[in-house]
Structure formats: structure tokens, C-alpha cells
Amino acid sequence: MPFDILLVSILRAIIEVAGFALLGQGVLAILAGKYREQNLFYRILRTITQPAVRAVRVVTPRVILDAHVPMLTFFLLFWLWLALALLRRHLCGLHGLTC
């Protein structure tokens, strides 16, 4: 497998983990309610998603509330995942591979 396709695949996998962790964190937030901070799995998922959420908080303006940043992070990760899927498809076509 060419290095560029491997790199794009690794980036997509990292984004998938962060995206699914954000989804799980959202589901647990709904199920656990105000006691979500006491839930061990919620804290584990928060630890996994914290770097992505902090990165989005740095690049977004202060007008956006902190409570909305995780949802914005999820949508940005989703669009980035789609863009990487299209890039991977394009790279596979350039190398003559069926991916």
C-alpha cells in the first residue's frame, strides 16, 4: 500500500475513534443526565475526545458557547472524515488500486 493512502487511512481511523467517542459521550450525557460526571465511561470518553474539542475551541470565536463546542467538533470531524474518504478514493485512482 502506498504511503499516502496509508496516511489518509490512519487519519480517517483516528477521526472515526474521536467521532464515535463523541457520539457515545452524547448518548451517555442524555442517559445519565446531571450525574454524567460521576459516570466512569463518560469520563473515559471525555478523555478520548478532549484533544479534538480543545482544538476546535481554540479555532472558534468566543461567541460560540462552550456547551456547543462538542457538537461543533462532531460535525467538523464528520466533514473531515468525508473529505478524507474522497481524498483516499482519488489517491487510489491515481495509483490504479481498487480501495
> What is the reported pLDDT for 1?
83
C-alpha cell at 31: 442517559
In 3-state terms, what secondary structure has residue 65?
coil
DSSP state of 1: -
**DSSP for residue 97:** -
Number of structural domains, the chain?
Answer: 1
The domain containing residue 34 runs over which residues? 3-95
CB 77 within 8 A of CB 15: yes
| pTM over the 0.85 mark | yes
Cell digits of residue 68: 456547543
From first to last of its 99 residues, the chain has per-residue pLDDT tens of 899 999 999 999 999 999 999 999 999 999 989 999 999 999 999 999 999 999 999 999 999 999 999 999 999 999 999 999 999 999 999 999 988
